[in-house]
Amino acid sequence: MNKLPKLPIGIQTFDEIRKEGYLYVDKTKYLVDLIDSGKTCFLSRPRRFGKSLTVSTFDALFSGKKELFEGLYAREFFDRPEYKVHPVIHLDMSNLTTNMGVDELRVSISGQLRENARRLKVDIEAGAPGDAFFNLISRTAEKYSFKAVLLIDEYDKPILDCLHDIRELDAARNVLKDFYTRIKSADKYLRFIFMTGISKFSKMGVFSALNNLNDISMDARYATMLGYTEKELLFNFDGYIDEMAAACGESRESLVAQIRDYYDGFSFDGENKLYNPFSTLNFFEKKKFLNYWFESATPSSLVEYVRRHDLEVESFRGLEVAEDFTSVTEIERATPESFLFQSGYLTVRGRHGKNLILDYPNNEVLSSVAALFLYGKFEIPDIKAAANNLEAALGEGQAEDLIKTYNSLLASLPYDIYEREEQKYTRAQERRKDVPVPYAESFYHALLFALLWSSQVNTTAENHSYRGRSDIEAEKNGHRYVVELKVAEGKEAAEKAADEAILQIRKKGYADKYASLTATCATPSTTLIGLAVDRTRRRVGGYRIEKL
């Protein structure tokens, strides 16, 4: 049996991957195409999605490291008559110090410039980072008699680190704007520019200064430049898939379907789907379905962002937005969907005319975001443990555990959360005057959805039947649940509402479509749940559980 190639966990340097024999998925065609098609390119992608490796590969390509490209598409690039080695200026802005104020940011930028100058054997004068930057570019080109290549990785990292502090944000933005605008004045000294980041904000100075910048972030031609397509997964990880399927005692097709549900689904054009490279590599290394990318790539600023904007996890599923929804001048003005998309928590699910349809990319992100939204908003302790227990219970058809866990969640919420919902209801009633306003069920629905999603249970809302729409339908390991949720005043009313809910499920035929599946399934289980929350006690006041 052939030995499987080593997996490059945490390795972002092209030289090391190729010299040490790590697995490499060939993406070099995209790099050659970009070099052929323009001079200045920008690519936005989430953290840990391969941006740094791409920048490192550009570095090797322009530095003349032909031996590293044997067997890859870009090998022929070195045989072109016009090919020349160019000096490369490589800045990694993710390594800058940002937590000690703007003066330390300037010192940190200057440090990177000096390191490039030492490597290139170029003298630059001390001074403001912008002046030193221009000197580095111009003197490098003059020393080598060839235009320089400029590679900037994570250009916006210092800004994203300051989201929680508006004064620090403004100060950092001014420093970076002065720094990045020097690129335009140094244009005659530059052969090629490639920049990466998570976001695109013109107030940073980059996009206003470089009016010829080619933003390829949502360009269909480069949609699969980072991440793995399913074809690439099946080809490059073939041995790993077979090895793991055999170890788990299941078919190759079944294993691939599970990997797809967990880690596929990222899309930047609404057509091509991608597996998260960080999660995929870690999955094959550790041989477990875990939330690798989310746990490693989620900054504390996201938790603060969720709290500040009072976000609901279900409000972003199937959200329709304009195609330019990420185009804002300042990060403070970015909509939640723009922030979440550019950070990698939302993806393009499809198109509707000129608009885009957003959604969560896969189970890894959906379950983690749901847990984060619950914890971030309500500071609920041990939500992960509760979610794991619920996943196991529903996977075995134990519907009672859903009621117990949901009740525990309601009991964990702070008093002021309920007070805020009561105030919304009161204001709505005052606006309607003499017309009775039913107490909104959306709050309790949102909590139940988030709980199920955080448990990695396949959950959908308002599914159409031939007589109406069910509130919630969920599935785990072939066990299906059809849930109707109501809100009532008092224990007696809640008991009655639960009866009405289970009757509604049967009368409206919400579960009828599962009848034939239940009759033939190896582990038949379709459970109907009528659930009523007692608004006065803020607990489940009544419930009914029946089998189809």
- Alpha helices by DSSP H, listed for 395-525, are 400-412, 415-432, 442-454, 491-507, 515-520
Give the C-alpha separation, 50 to 278, whole Å: 8
Tokens of 64: 């003349």
Distances (CA, A) of 310 to 301, 378, 417: 14, 10, 11
Q: Judge whether 511 and 477 are in contact, CB under 8 Å.
A: no
Q: How many residues does the chain have?
A: 548
**Cβ partners under 8 Å of residue 390, min gap 6:** 401, 402, 405, 451, 452, 455, 457
Q: Judge whether 387 and 451 are in contact, CB under 8 Å.
A: yes
Identify the pLDDT of residue 437. Answer: 47
Q: How many CB atoms within 10 Å of residue 274?
A: 27
pLDDT above 90 covers a percentage of the chain that reads: 50
**Cβ partners under 8 Å of residue 485, min gap 6:** 441, 444, 445, 448, 471, 472, 501, 531, 532, 533
Give the C-alpha separation, 499 to 399, whole Å: 17
Give the C-alpha separation, 254 to 250, whole Å: 7
pLDDT digits (tens, 9 = 90+) for 417-466: 777 777 776 776 666 665 554 566 778 887 888 888 888 888 876 665 55
Tokens of 312: 């609901």
Instruction: Label residue 358 by pLDDT band (50, 70, 90).
Output: very high
Give the C-alpha separation, 178 to 131, whole Å: 9
* Greater model confidence, 173 or 266: 266
Instruction: Label residue 229 by pLDDT band (50, 70, 90).
Output: very high
Tokens of 65: 């490291």
Q: Judge whether 264 and 248 are in contact, CB under 8 Å.
A: no
On average, the pLDDT of the chain sits at 86
Does the pLDDT at position 277 exceed 50? yes
Host H or E run for residue 350: strand 347-352
Give the C-alpha separation, 247 to 392, whole Å: 22
Domains recognised in the chain with CATH numbers = 14-222 (3.40.50), 228-376 (no CATH), 380-547 (no CATH)
Does the pLDDT at position 547 exceed 70? yes
Instruction: Label residue 285 by pLDDT band (50, 70, 90).
Output: very high
Look up tokens 């970015």; give the residue. Answer: 334
Does the pLDDT at position 170 exceed 50? yes
pLDDT above 70 covers a percentage of the chain that reads: 89
Identify the pLDDT of residue 299. Answer: 58
Tokens of 40: 């200045």
* Greater model confidence, 41 or 1: 41
User: What residues form DSSP beta bridges with 464?
Assistant: 469
Instruction: Label residue 329 by pLDDT band (50, 70, 90).
Output: low
Look up tokens 């009848």; give the residue. Answer: 515
Whole-angstrom Cα Rg for the chain = 27
Give the C-alpha separation, 328 to 420, whole Å: 31
Identify the pLDDT of residue 433. Answer: 61
DSSP string, 153-177: ESTTHHHHTTTT-HHHHHHHHHHHH
Does the pLDDT at position 415 exceed 80? no
- Tell me which of 345-349, 466-470, 483-487 is least confident: 466-470
| Residue 205 φ then ψ, to 5° | 100, -25
Tokens of 517: 């599946």
Distances (CA, A) of 378 to 371, 437, 540: 11, 27, 19
Look up tokens 């989310």; give the residue. Answer: 294
Q: Is residue 41 classed as helix, strand or coil in its secondary structure?
A: strand
The amino acid that residue 76 corresponds to is E
Q: What is the 3-state secondary structure (H, E, C) of 239-252?
A: HHHHHHHHHHCCCH
Q: Mean pLDDT across the stretch 136-153?
A: 96
Give the C-alpha separation, 93 to 150, whole Å: 13
Among 37-51, 141-155, 196-210, 326-340, name the most confident range. 141-155
pLDDT digits (tens, 9 = 90+) for 496-543: 999 999 999 999 888 888 876 554 445 568 899 999 999 889 899 999
**pTM score, whole prediction:** 0.83
In 3D space, the residue among 240, 166, 159, 215 whose CA is nearest the CA of residue 34 turns out to be 215
In 3D space, the residue among 358, 320, 318 whose CA is nearest the CA of residue 342 turns out to be 358
DSSP string, 360-414: --SHHHHHHHHHHHHHHHH--TTHHHHHHHHHHHHTTT-THHHHHHHHHHHHHS-
Tokens of 50: 């391969």
Q: Judge whether 372 and 343 are in contact, CB under 8 Å.
A: no
Does the pLDDT at position 280 exceed 90? yes
